[in-house]
Amino acid sequence: MALIMRYIDSMQRYMDNAGDPRTRDWPMMSSPFPTLAVCLSYAYFVKVIGPKLMENRRPFNLRYILILYNFIQVIFSAWLFYEIAISGWLTGHYNFRCQPVDYSNSPRTLRMVHACWWYYFSKFTEFFDTFFFVLRKKNSQVSTLHVIHHGCMPMSVWFGVKFTPGGHSTFFGLLNTFVHIVMYSYYLFSALGQRFHRFLWWKKYLTALQMVQFVLIMVHAFQLLFIDCNYPRAFVWWIGMHAVMFFFLFNEFYKSTYKREVLRREALARSKAAAAAAATNGVNGSLNHEIQHNGTTNGVNGLNGSLNQYYDSVNHNHINSKKNTEYTESFYANGNANGTMELNYRKK
């Protein structure tokens, strides 16, 4: 235990000596351990405690809270983008090829340093993305990619604010805040309800935009490995490898999500085609059955007609025979010899 405490003390002295004195006394900047504790607590809550607490509860309806939250995130991200851009990147004061850290106290430099700390703070506000998923029991959204992305970012940005607030690494923040303006705008429209969902056809392009972001960050960071620039190589690797990791994670998410969507649509198309074929076969079968039924009915009717004709013939002969008999008997009654002979003949 004493060895561990001596190691922590030596690390703390290094942080104080090597860290930027301008941010030393700012909230959460004296040591990495508070940030690390918050990140680990976040991961444990959203993966274990939260789902357990919600297991036997109904999901919360957070529609209006989500609308307000996403609206605030759009405004916050837009403000951060503006601050980082106006402090250097879009005013000509920063060089996209190589931008060393300015450790002076000039107003423009301090503005960038403050923007870096607020960018670090924004990574904690993004935890609420996951908290809302848990409270709404959208556990499928709390993926490994989602938790790693949100859980790692505060710790990653902490080192930048502690040692290099400003300079080359802030290009990451510039791109990321722009992407978040687009991303939270998408979430805002999604939370507003069904009537706005027709505007959300570009979901997969949002994921593609995030991957483009990481490619640009990789290129921007790793170029310093091939040119002479007064910027710490350790942070070049730190930022570049984060971009590599997130690119491949988002790429896997993109392929798994949208490839599955394509397969689902193909299966649905096949199902519809099979249903249409079955319906067509059913109609043909019904027609054949109707034809057979009509043929049987006509045959029965024909037989009945033949029988009726036979019975009519028999009845007709019987009536004629009866008339002849009556005619002959009338002759007999009148004493006609021919009638008597005819009657005797017929009675034989």
Catalytic residue IDs? 149
Q: CA 191 to CA 202: how far, in whole Å?
A: 16
Q: CA 232 to CA 160: how far, in whole Å?
A: 11
List the structure tokens of 91. 């005013």
Q: Are the CB atoms for 189 and 199 separated by under 8 Å?
A: yes
Sign for the pseudo-dihedral over CA of 10, 14, 17, 21: negative
Query: Which residue from 128, 126, 129, 123 is spatially nearest to 160, judged by alpha carbons?
Result: 123
Number of separate helices (H) and strands (E) present in the chain: 11, 0
Helices assigned H by DSSP within the chain: 2-18, 33-44, 50-53, 63-84, 107-125, 127-135, 144-163, 170-192, 203-222, 233-333, 337-347
Query: Which residue from 62, 189, 75, 234 is spatially nearest to 132, judged by alpha carbons?
Result: 62
DSSP state of 47: I
Angle between the 144-163 and 233-333 helix axes, to the nearest 10 degrees? 160
DSSP state of 90: T
Sign for the pseudo-dihedral over CA of 326, 329, 331, 334: negative
Q: What residue type is 141 in one-letter code? A: Q
Q: Are the CB atoms for 179 and 208 separated by under 8 Å?
A: no
